[in-house]
Every structure is written in structure tokens, then in C-alpha cells.
Amino acid sequence: MTQDELKLAVAKAAIDYVVDGEIIGVGTGSTANFFIDELGKIKHRIKGAVASSEATAERLRSHGITVFDLNEVETMPVYIDGADEINAGGAMIKGGGAALTREKIVASVAQKFVCIADGSKLVDVLGKFPLPVEVIPMSHAVVARKLAALGGEPRLRLNKNGDGQPLVTDNGCYIIDVLGLAITDPADIEDKINNIVGVVTNGLFARQGANVCLLGTADGVKKLEF
């Protein structure tokens, strides 16, 4: 099976977690996009969605799904999103698509986080995937030095235009990708990085990890519960 077929399989399986008549939180990325397309087919069953990025909001609307402002929503039963890495305890690295802060905010008001991912995302130790950190632009060099002091190799993420300029997130911020961090204690690293002044948040989801992971494998969709 191709990676896209695995992503589609988990996106279809995630439809079982959609609660009729409710608002659903929706993540960002290629796996989330497969899920949005499946959600479009059952849009009559839900009240609407909260999006974790402008791109996701646009795709939801293209299917005729109502997108709610998070400030109008007190809670929601489920948030569904992909991950760059997930470990056996449900802790994740997210933010490969630069949407980590909004993803963390939307997930924080959901009762359940359902991670959908192809099998390659399951790892023993988090950190092979560079850890994304969203930062206030004026502080990026200051924060980078502090990330280096923690043992990582910080790289400012550039946009894809090829003009050498930093990528700007939906929040008007920059992303620093940190290579080479040994993340043996994800919650500790999450806290340490979030305590650096100038950091908006980082892509470790250990304090609010997944409750369920639907993992796409050649043998079918495997369900992990945490």
C-alpha cells in the first residue's frame, strides 16, 4: 500500500469517532485533508467544525461544512489530526505543517484527541523528526540560542518561495525546527521549551497527547488507546 492509501484508510476509520449533531475539531496536513474529504460526505450529520489552520478552514468550507470561531465553542467531543511522530504513550511531535499552535489550542478544548497516521509515524523515541517551535519573530535569534543550549540544533524554517525569507505562520510568527534533541522525557522538554520567553508553543504534545491513535499499516488500521 502507498502512504496515501494508508492515510486514506485511517481517515475513513476516523469517521467512526464523529459525534452526530456536534462540532468537531479538525487538524492540518495531508492526513487531515483525507479526513476532511471523508467528513464532507457526512456533513449533514454534524453541526460544523473548528479548524486548526486557514488551509483547513478553506478545505472544510469547500465541502460546505460550517466553520466555527473557536471563541464561540466551549467544548467539543473530539479533535482529529495527524502527527509527525507518535510514541507508545500517545505523546506526539506535530507542526510539520506549521499549524502546531492552533492545533494545540483547538485540541485543548476537545474531550478526545484522535490521532490518524500512517504506520511510519510510530517511533520508540521522539525526536528524529525536527521539533517545530513557533516563535515571536523579533525573538527568533534569542530563542534559537536557548534551544541550542538545551542540546538541539535550531534552524529557522524558510518559506517555499525560494526567496530565503522565513515562513510566516497563520499567527504571523516564525518556526524554528530543532534537530538532534533526545526527547526521552517529552513532557519535560515540552515544558522547558515553552518556558523560553519568545516561544509561542512547541510541537510536543505530551501534556495533551492522543487518547486514541488510528495507525495505517499493511495489515489494516490498528487502534492504539492511551
Question: Is residue 27 part of the contact set for ligand 5RP (CB under 6 A)?
Answer: yes
Q: Which stretch binds ligand 5RP (CB under 6 A): 22-30, 72-80, 158-166, 176-184?
A: 22-30
Question: Is residue 50 part of the contact set for ligand 5RP (CB under 6 A)?
Answer: no
State how beta strands 85-86 and 199-202 pair: unpaired
Could you tell me the end-to-end alpha-carbon distance of the chain, in angstroms, rounded to an integer?
A: 27
Question: Is residue 6 part of the contact set for ligand 5RP (CB under 6 A)?
Answer: no
Q: What does the alpha-carbon distance between residue 115 and residue 83 come to, in Å, rounded to a whole number?
A: 7
Question: Is residue 217 part of the contact set for ligand 5RP (CB under 6 A)?
Answer: no
Nearer to ligand 5RP, 25 or 97 (CB): 97
Which of 99, 110, 193, 215 touches ligand 5RP by CB under 6 A?
99
Question: Is residue 29 part of the contact set for ligand 5RP (CB under 6 A)?
Answer: yes
**Residue found under cell 494545540:** 104
Q: What does the alpha-carbon distance between residue 93 and residue 186 come to, in Å, rounded to a whole number?
A: 9
Question: What are 92's three cell numbers?
Answer: 506526539
Q: Which stretch binds ligand 5RP (CB under 6 A): 39-47, 55-63, 89-97, 166-174?
A: 89-97
**Residue found under cell 464561540:** 72
Nearer to ligand 5RP, 123 or 142 (CB): 123
Mark whether 38 is an active-site residue. Answer: no
Phi, psi of 170, deg, nearest 5 = -60, -20
Residues contacting 85, CB < 8 A, separation 6+ = 92, 93, 121, 122, 123, 126, 127, 128, 129
Distances (CA, A) of 67 to 48, 72, 186: 6, 11, 32
Question: Total residues at the site for ligand 5RP (CB under 6 A)?
Answer: 17
Q: Which stretch binds ligand 5RP (CB under 6 A): 91-99, 133-141, 156-164, 194-202?
A: 91-99
Question: Is residue 85 part of the contact set for ligand 5RP (CB under 6 A)?
Answer: no
> Minimal distance in Å, beta carbon 197 to ligand 5RP?
23
Catalytic residue among 85, 103, 134, 190: 103
Residue 56: name the closest of 37, 28, 17, 90 by CA.
28
Q: What does the alpha-carbon distance between residue 1 and residue 206 come to, in Å, rounded to a whole number?
A: 30
Whether residue 27 is annotated as binding a ligand: the answer is: no
Question: Is residue 210 part of the contact set for ligand 5RP (CB under 6 A)?
Answer: no
Task: Kindly list the residues in this chain that would bind ligand 5RP in the complex (CB under 6 A).
Answer: 27-31, 81-84, 94-100, 103
**Residues at the annotated binding site for substrate?**
28-31, 81-84, 94-97, 121
